[in-house]
Amino acid sequence: MKKFLFGILLSAVLAFAAGSEDKSMGVGGWLQAGNHGEHAGLDLQMRQDKIVTLDLYLHFCFYTGDNALGGYFGYYWNKYLNVPKDIGRMGFYVGPAGGLGWWNVDKGDNWDETGLSIRFGVVGGYQWEFPVVPLQLYLELNPVGEVHFMWWDYDGADDDDSFDDDDTDWKLPDVYFRIGLRFWF
């Protein structure tokens, strides 16, 4: 019963909350296409002034032998469209982004691949801040360059079958598409 009442209270607060225009910090989550190791993550965005925002985002993936973790930083300039306030606030943003990522993939048959990624690129997106509830829906493209440092390990049945190797690889360009939702407070 307590959970039910909490859910009703939270819904009422969100339904009658002010819009997100005057809020300074947004927290949310996102889904992403373009990289098999980065499907989802968390996001923290902070407004620095009327046009500049800082974005910190974290991705994580831990399932079926495909593990990944990364942290990234973006610096965005926002351009808001002149639309009526009753439909919310809409705009575009663009800016540089970069960060670090790690992955470990079980390739099966005693093969294991581990890697470290250094990413840099430009993020561009569209955002819609809802008119009453302090929520923001965003869609973004993230063309990036990545440097990958990779290690392969094969642990055979005996010592003669063991194999270790490493490689450095560039991935340029790579493009990710992200859709997310933030709650502003």
The yes-or-no verdict on residue 24 having pLDDT over 70 is: yes
Select the highest-mean-pLDDT range: 18-27, 34-43, 58-67, 143-152.
Answer: 143-152
Count H helices, E strands: the chain? 1, 8
* Pairwise CA distance, residues 29 & 169, whole Å: 30
The yes-or-no verdict on residue 9 having pLDDT over 60 is: no
* Pairwise CA distance, residues 155 & 109, whole Å: 9
Could you report the per-residue pLDDT of 97-149, keeping only the tens digit for each? 999 999 888 766 666 788 899 999 999 999 999 988 899 999 999 998 989 88
The yes-or-no verdict on residue 60 having pLDDT over 70 is: yes
Tokens 């831990």 belong to residue:
62
Min mean pLDDT across 7-21, 120-134, 168-182 is at: 7-21
20 DSSP assignment: S
